[in-house]
């Protein structure tokens, strides 16, 4: 006779009539003779029934009207930045961030989306702003970044040299439970060129990259460079896209299975996208492996 620990593994199959007759007979025989498993199986059924019995909810009558109004507002850039901030905050494993910090972060990101220093002025740490949220009261200070210049960041740029390989805004998060000490990790391709505007965490990097390449023509964007570092299971690409299509890009990545699109692992120093001209921005996108 099957033992009690294994019997539960078959509950789902037996409950849904999805097991072969031999297994079904074994499970039923066990249930007949074992009160504990019988009780457990009863609760398994109660659980499924209770879930199925949850009340139905309907959308409001004017759902379509509301939706069309929302689409017509053409909020793609604005809303995508809001959702980027939400994603960014979401990916930081600490306590809630004050709304004020989010708003100010939003303003800061916006400011750097529309404002650009010429590359030759881009001495990191002087031209940037940092945003700090303190743990005690959620107060926010905006001050010139005092982050030391990482020599790797101003050294060689493996990407096209007429493009500034790093941009100018840093939004470090210094909230509760997060020490200001820099934690050690493997240097990444992004470290070496000092940039990754966006991190895409996906269980299938290949698929995420393919999705990116497929949608670029649709949004009038282009791939500028591409680097792999297989030992760390990541890829880094540089793209130039119209700033208004930023939301489309991130949405498409999320819709094609990326788990997180935000500043997942470099939240303490993720720069804003650099402006190329009046219409286009350059983005460095890092693809990291998510657990399958």
Residues 24-43 that bind Zn ion (CB under 5 A): 34, 37
**Three-class secondary structure of residue 62 per DSSP:** coil
Which of residues 31 and 190 has its CB atom nearest to another protein in the complex?
Answer: 31
13 binds Zn ion (CB under 5 A): no
SS3 state at 180 = coil
The backbone torsions φ and ψ at residue 158, rounded to the nearest 5 degrees and listed phi first, read -65, -20
Judged by CB under 8 A, the residue of 111, 152, 161, 214 near another protein is 214
State which of residues 145, 239, 254, 290 lies at the interface with another protein (CB under 8 A). 254
**Nearest 5°: CA angle at 213, between 209 and 219?**
130
* Cβ at position 35, least distance to another protein in Å: 8
160 near another protein, judged by CB under 8 A? no
| For another protein, the closer CB: 50 or 139 | 50
Nearest approach in angstroms of CB 40 to Zn ion is 8
Give the list of residues 6+ apart from residue 85 with CB closer than 8 angstroms, or none.
Answer: 102, 105, 106, 109
For residue 200 the two structure tokens come to 């895409």
* Candidate residues 1, 36, 58, 181; the one interacting with another protein per rule CB under 8 A: 58
Burial group, residue 225, by CB count within 10 angstroms (0-12, 13-18, 19+): middle
Which of the 8 DSSP states describes residue 137?
T
Which of 201, 234, 248, 269 is close enough to bind another protein by CB under 8 A?
A: 248
| Residue of 25, 86, 152, 222 interacting with another protein (CB under 8 A) | 86
CA distances from 174 to 85, 88, 144, 273 (A): 15, 13, 15, 22
25 binds another protein (CB under 8 A): no
- The nearer residue to another protein, 64 or 182, going by C-beta atoms, is 64
Q: Which does 232 bind (CB under 5 to 8 A by kind): another protein, Zn ion, none?
A: none
């Amino acid at each position: 006779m099957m033992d009690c620990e294994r019997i539960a593994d078959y509950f789902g199959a037996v409950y849904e009539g999805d097991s072969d007759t031999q297994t079904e007979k074994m499970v039923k025989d066990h249930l007949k003779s074992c009160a504990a498993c019988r009780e457990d199986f009863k609760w398994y059924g109660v659980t499924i029934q209770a879930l199925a019995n949850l009340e139905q909810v309907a959308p409001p009558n004017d759902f379509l009207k509301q939706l069309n109004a929302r689409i017509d507002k053409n909020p793609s850039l604005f809303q995508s930045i809001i959702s980027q901030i939400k994603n960014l905050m979401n990916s930081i494993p600490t306590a809630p961030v004050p709304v004020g910090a989010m708003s100010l972060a939003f303003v800061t990101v916006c400011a750097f989306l529309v404002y650009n220093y010429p590359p030759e002025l881009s001495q990191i740490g002087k031209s940037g702003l940092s945003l700090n949220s303190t743990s005690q009261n959620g107060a926010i200070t905006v001050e010139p970044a005092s982050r030391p210049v990482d020599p790797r960041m101003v050294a060689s740029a493996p990407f096209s040299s007429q493009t500034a390989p790093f941009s100018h805004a840093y939004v470090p998060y210094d909230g509760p439970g997060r020490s200001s000490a820099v934690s050690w990790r493997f240097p990444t391709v992004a470290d070496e060129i000092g940039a990754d505007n966006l991190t895409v965490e996906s269980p299938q990097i290949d698929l995420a990259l393919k999705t990116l390449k497929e949608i670029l023509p649709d949004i009038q964007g282009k791939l500028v460079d591409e680097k792999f570092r297989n030992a760390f299971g990541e890829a880094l690409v540089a793209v130039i896209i119209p700033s208004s299509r930023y939301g489309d890009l991130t949405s498409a990545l999320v819709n094609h299975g990326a788990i997180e699109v935000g500043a997942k692992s470099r939240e303490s120093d993720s720069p804003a996208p650099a402006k190329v001209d009046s219409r286009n921005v350059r983005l460095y996108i890092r693809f990291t492996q998510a657990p399958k």
